[in-house]
Amino acid sequence: MLHVIDLENCNLASVLRAFDRIGVATTTVGEPARLADAKAIVLPGVGAFAASMGKLDERGFSPVLRDLVQRDGVPLLGICLGMQLLGDASEEHGIHAGLGLVPGTVKRLRPASRADKIPHVGWADAVPAKESYLFPEQTVSSFYFDHSYHFDCDDSPDIAARARFGNEEITVAIQRGHVAGVQFHPEKSQDAGLDLLSAHLHWLRGKGRL
Protein backbone atom coordinates (compact mmCIF):
# COMPACT_ATOMS: atom_id res chain seq x y z
CA MET A 1 0.00 0.00 0.00
CA LEU A 2 1.40 3.37 -1.09
CA HIS A 3 0.32 6.48 0.77
CA VAL A 4 -0.16 9.32 -1.72
CA ILE A 5 -0.45 12.83 -0.29
CA ASP A 6 -3.29 14.88 -1.75
CA LEU A 7 -2.64 18.63 -1.69
CA GLU A 8 -5.54 19.27 -4.15
CA ASN A 9 -3.03 20.91 -6.46
CA CYS A 10 -2.78 18.43 -9.28
CA ASN A 11 -4.63 15.87 -11.27
CA LEU A 12 -4.01 13.23 -8.67
CA ALA A 13 -6.21 10.83 -10.61
CA SER A 14 -3.58 10.31 -13.31
CA VAL A 15 -0.91 9.53 -10.70
CA LEU A 16 -3.24 7.02 -9.05
CA ARG A 17 -4.11 5.48 -12.41
CA ALA A 18 -0.43 4.99 -13.15
CA PHE A 19 0.11 3.15 -9.86
CA ASP A 20 -3.00 1.11 -10.53
CA ARG A 21 -1.69 0.14 -13.97
CA ILE A 22 1.59 -1.14 -12.54
CA GLY A 23 -0.31 -3.12 -9.95
CA VAL A 24 0.06 -1.39 -6.61
CA ALA A 25 -2.66 -0.33 -4.21
CA THR A 26 -2.73 3.31 -3.12
CA THR A 27 -4.50 5.32 -0.50
CA THR A 28 -4.81 9.09 -0.68
CA VAL A 29 -3.97 11.08 2.38
CA GLY A 30 -5.44 14.51 3.17
CA GLU A 31 -4.13 14.88 6.72
CA PRO A 32 -0.93 13.80 8.47
CA ALA A 33 -2.62 11.52 11.01
CA ARG A 34 -3.39 9.12 8.15
CA LEU A 35 0.34 8.65 7.59
CA ALA A 36 0.82 6.85 10.91
CA ASP A 37 1.02 3.40 9.34
CA ALA A 38 2.59 4.47 6.04
CA LYS A 39 5.33 2.17 4.78
CA ALA A 40 6.07 4.28 1.71
CA ILE A 41 4.91 7.77 0.73
CA VAL A 42 4.45 9.59 -2.59
CA LEU A 43 4.21 13.38 -2.79
CA PRO A 44 2.87 14.56 -6.16
CA GLY A 45 2.13 18.17 -7.05
CA VAL A 46 1.98 20.90 -9.64
CA GLY A 47 1.72 24.67 -9.33
CA ALA A 48 3.41 27.20 -7.11
CA PHE A 49 5.94 26.16 -4.47
CA ALA A 50 4.82 28.58 -1.74
CA ALA A 51 1.14 27.63 -1.96
CA SER A 52 1.81 23.92 -1.64
CA MET A 53 4.45 24.31 1.08
CA GLY A 54 1.94 26.52 2.91
CA LYS A 55 -0.57 23.68 2.77
CA LEU A 56 1.97 21.16 4.07
CA ASP A 57 2.75 23.49 6.98
CA GLU A 58 -0.86 24.47 7.73
CA ARG A 59 -2.10 20.89 7.84
CA GLY A 60 0.85 19.81 9.96
CA PHE A 61 2.33 17.55 7.30
CA SER A 62 5.82 19.06 7.40
CA PRO A 63 7.04 17.88 10.84
CA VAL A 64 5.30 14.51 10.42
CA LEU A 65 6.96 13.92 7.04
CA ARG A 66 10.39 14.93 8.39
CA ASP A 67 10.00 12.54 11.33
CA LEU A 68 8.71 9.63 9.26
CA VAL A 69 11.42 10.03 6.65
CA GLN A 70 14.43 10.99 8.81
CA ARG A 71 13.66 9.13 12.06
CA ASP A 72 11.71 6.08 10.87
CA GLY A 73 13.31 5.65 7.45
CA VAL A 74 10.03 5.71 5.50
CA PRO A 75 10.80 6.02 1.78
CA LEU A 76 9.43 9.13 0.06
CA LEU A 77 9.08 9.87 -3.67
CA GLY A 78 8.35 13.41 -4.82
CA ILE A 79 6.89 14.02 -8.29
CA CYS A 80 7.28 17.35 -10.15
CA LEU A 81 6.56 20.07 -7.57
CA GLY A 82 6.69 17.25 -5.00
CA MET A 83 10.39 16.84 -5.81
CA GLN A 84 11.04 20.57 -5.41
CA LEU A 85 9.36 20.56 -1.98
CA LEU A 86 12.02 18.11 -0.77
CA GLY A 87 14.68 20.85 -1.00
CA ASP A 88 15.84 23.47 1.51
CA ALA A 89 14.29 26.45 -0.23
CA SER A 90 12.78 27.82 -3.42
CA GLU A 91 13.34 31.14 -5.17
CA GLU A 92 9.91 31.09 -6.81
CA HIS A 93 8.27 34.50 -6.11
CA GLY A 94 10.51 35.25 -3.08
CA ILE A 95 12.45 32.85 -0.87
CA HIS A 96 10.47 30.03 0.74
CA ALA A 97 11.69 27.20 2.94
CA GLY A 98 11.06 23.62 1.84
CA LEU A 99 10.99 20.32 3.69
CA GLY A 100 14.80 20.22 3.82
CA LEU A 101 15.09 16.49 3.19
CA VAL A 102 17.54 16.82 0.29
CA PRO A 103 20.10 19.67 0.34
CA GLY A 104 19.44 22.05 -2.52
CA THR A 105 17.59 25.13 -3.74
CA VAL A 106 14.86 25.46 -6.35
CA LYS A 107 15.78 28.04 -9.01
CA ARG A 108 14.18 29.44 -12.16
CA LEU A 109 15.19 27.86 -15.45
CA ARG A 110 17.60 30.02 -17.50
CA PRO A 111 16.93 30.11 -21.22
CA ALA A 112 19.95 30.55 -23.47
CA SER A 113 18.02 31.53 -26.58
CA ARG A 114 14.54 32.09 -28.02
CA ALA A 115 14.33 28.35 -28.53
CA ASP A 116 14.40 27.68 -24.77
CA LYS A 117 10.80 28.25 -23.82
CA ILE A 118 9.57 28.72 -20.26
CA PRO A 119 7.63 26.80 -19.01
CA HIS A 120 9.73 23.89 -20.18
CA VAL A 121 6.94 21.72 -21.59
CA GLY A 122 7.33 18.51 -23.53
CA TRP A 123 9.41 15.40 -23.95
CA ALA A 124 13.10 15.59 -23.12
CA ASP A 125 15.82 13.04 -22.44
CA ALA A 126 16.84 12.30 -18.88
CA VAL A 127 20.40 10.99 -18.59
CA PRO A 128 21.03 8.91 -15.47
CA ALA A 129 23.90 10.36 -13.43
CA LYS A 130 24.54 7.35 -11.21
CA GLU A 131 23.23 3.92 -10.35
CA SER A 132 20.00 4.36 -8.43
CA TYR A 133 16.79 2.46 -7.82
CA LEU A 134 14.99 4.93 -10.08
CA PHE A 135 17.18 4.05 -13.07
CA PRO A 136 18.41 0.50 -12.48
CA GLU A 137 19.17 0.07 -16.20
CA GLN A 138 20.88 3.46 -16.43
CA THR A 139 19.51 3.97 -19.96
CA VAL A 140 18.61 7.36 -21.40
CA SER A 141 14.84 7.76 -21.75
CA SER A 142 12.51 10.61 -22.67
CA PHE A 143 10.06 11.86 -20.09
CA TYR A 144 7.32 14.45 -20.15
CA PHE A 145 8.20 17.74 -18.43
CA ASP A 146 6.12 20.73 -17.45
CA HIS A 147 7.95 23.18 -15.18
CA SER A 148 9.57 26.64 -14.94
CA TYR A 149 11.85 25.95 -11.94
CA HIS A 150 14.42 23.26 -11.30
CA PHE A 151 16.12 21.67 -8.31
CA ASP A 152 19.72 22.80 -7.89
CA CYS A 153 21.36 20.04 -5.87
CA ASP A 154 24.02 20.92 -3.23
CA ASP A 155 25.51 17.41 -3.06
CA SER A 156 26.19 16.05 -6.52
CA PRO A 157 26.01 12.39 -5.33
CA ASP A 158 22.29 13.04 -4.78
CA ILE A 159 21.76 13.70 -8.49
CA ALA A 160 20.09 10.69 -10.11
CA ALA A 161 19.51 12.12 -13.61
CA ARG A 162 20.11 15.27 -15.61
CA ALA A 163 18.58 16.86 -18.69
CA ARG A 164 19.73 19.60 -21.01
CA PHE A 165 18.04 22.99 -20.77
CA GLY A 166 19.55 26.06 -22.41
CA ASN A 167 23.28 25.92 -21.74
CA GLU A 168 22.95 23.86 -18.58
CA GLU A 169 22.55 20.28 -17.48
CA ILE A 170 19.73 20.63 -14.98
CA THR A 171 18.93 18.07 -12.31
CA VAL A 172 15.71 16.21 -13.12
CA ALA A 173 15.88 13.34 -10.65
CA ILE A 174 17.35 13.11 -7.16
CA GLN A 175 17.95 10.20 -4.84
CA ARG A 176 19.44 10.47 -1.38
CA GLY A 177 19.06 7.19 0.44
CA HIS A 178 15.37 6.42 0.67
CA VAL A 179 14.30 9.92 -0.43
CA ALA A 180 13.85 10.41 -4.16
CA GLY A 181 12.24 12.84 -6.53
CA VAL A 182 11.60 13.32 -10.24
CA GLN A 183 10.98 16.67 -11.94
CA PHE A 184 9.10 15.12 -14.87
CA HIS A 185 5.70 13.44 -14.88
CA PRO A 186 6.15 9.64 -14.92
CA GLU A 187 2.36 9.24 -15.02
CA LYS A 188 2.37 11.08 -18.37
CA SER A 189 5.54 9.53 -19.81
CA GLN A 190 4.17 6.31 -21.28
CA ASP A 191 6.27 3.20 -20.69
CA ALA A 192 9.36 5.13 -19.62
CA GLY A 193 7.40 6.66 -16.73
CA LEU A 194 5.62 3.48 -15.75
CA ASP A 195 8.93 1.60 -15.90
CA LEU A 196 10.46 4.14 -13.51
CA LEU A 197 7.59 3.87 -11.03
CA SER A 198 7.78 0.11 -11.36
CA ALA A 199 11.53 0.15 -10.61
CA HIS A 200 10.80 2.23 -7.54
CA LEU A 201 8.18 -0.28 -6.42
CA HIS A 202 10.59 -3.14 -7.03
CA TRP A 203 13.08 -1.46 -4.73
CA LEU A 204 10.38 -0.84 -2.10
CA ARG A 205 9.42 -4.52 -2.22
CA GLY A 206 13.05 -5.50 -1.76
CA LYS A 207 13.10 -3.30 1.32
CA GLY A 208 9.94 -5.00 2.62
CA ARG A 209 8.05 -1.73 2.27
CA LEU A 210 5.23 -3.03 0.06
Partner 1 sequence: MVYPRLIPCVLLKNGLIVRSERFETHQVIGNPIQTISRLSSWNVDELFLIDISTEDYHDLRRDDLHVRYQGSSALDVLQEIAKICFMPLSFGGRVRSLEDISRILKAGADKVSLNSAALASPDLVSEAAREFGNQATVVTIDTRRLEDGRYEVFADAGRTATGRDPVDWAREAADLGAGEIVIQAIHRDGSAEGYDIELVSRIVNAVDVPVIALGGAGRYQDFPPAFEAGVSGAAAANIFNFFELSYGMAKKHCTEAGIRLRESKLESAWSPREPKYAPGDASARIEARLEAARTGDFPAARQTRPTQTVSWCTECVYSSLSATPMAFDENGVCMGCKTAAARSEIPAEEWTRREALLKDLLERYKSRDGMRPDCVIAVSGGKDSWFQTHYIKNVLGYNPLLITYNGNNYTDVGWRNLLRMKEVFDVDHIIYSPRVDVLKKLNRLAFKIMGDMNWHAHVGINTVPVRLAVQLGIPLVIWGEHGYMDLCGQFAMTDFPEMSYRYRLEHFGRGYDWNYFLGLEDLETKDLIAWQYPRDQEMFDLDLRGIYLGNYVDWDANQHTQQMVEEYGFEVSPDPFDRTYRRMSNLDDMHENGVHDYLKYVKFGYGRCTDHCCKDIRSGKLSRGQAIELVNHYDPVRPRDLYRWLDYAEMSEEEFDRIADTFRDPRVWWKDADGNWQRTRLEP
- Catalytic site positions: 80, 185, 187
CB 114 within 8 A of CB 131: no
What burial class does residue 58 get, using C-beta atoms within 10 Å of its C-beta: 0-12 exposed, 13-18 middle, 19+ buried? exposed
Count CB neighbours of 111 within 10 A: 14
Q: Is 202 in the site for partner 1 (CB under 8 A)?
A: no
Judge if the upstream peptide bond of residue 119 is cis by omega within 30 degrees of 0.
Answer: yes
- How far, in Å, CA of 192 to CA of 182, rounded? 13
CB of 194 to partner 1, least distance (A): 5
Q: Is 168 in the site for partner 1 (CB under 8 A)?
A: no
Q: Is 9 in the site for partner 1 (CB under 8 A)?
A: no
Q: Is 13 in the site for partner 1 (CB under 8 A)?
A: yes
CB of 16 to partner 1, least distance (A): 11
105-164: contacts with partner 1 (CB under 8 A): 114, 117, 119-125, 142, 144-146, 164
Nearer to partner 1, 14 or 138 (CB): 14
Q: Is 11 in the site for partner 1 (CB under 8 A)?
A: yes
CB of 176 to partner 1, least distance (A): 27
CB of 81 to partner 1, least distance (A): 12
By CB under 8 A, which span of 13-21, 76-84, 85-93, 169-177 interacts with partner 1?
Answer: 13-21
- Nearest one of 128, 174, 131 to 150, comparing CA atoms: 174
Q: Is 14 in the site for partner 1 (CB under 8 A)?
A: yes
- Nearest one of 195, 204, 209, 129 to 162, comparing CA atoms: 129
What burial class does residue 43 get, using C-beta atoms within 10 Å of its C-beta: 0-12 exposed, 13-18 middle, 19+ buried? buried
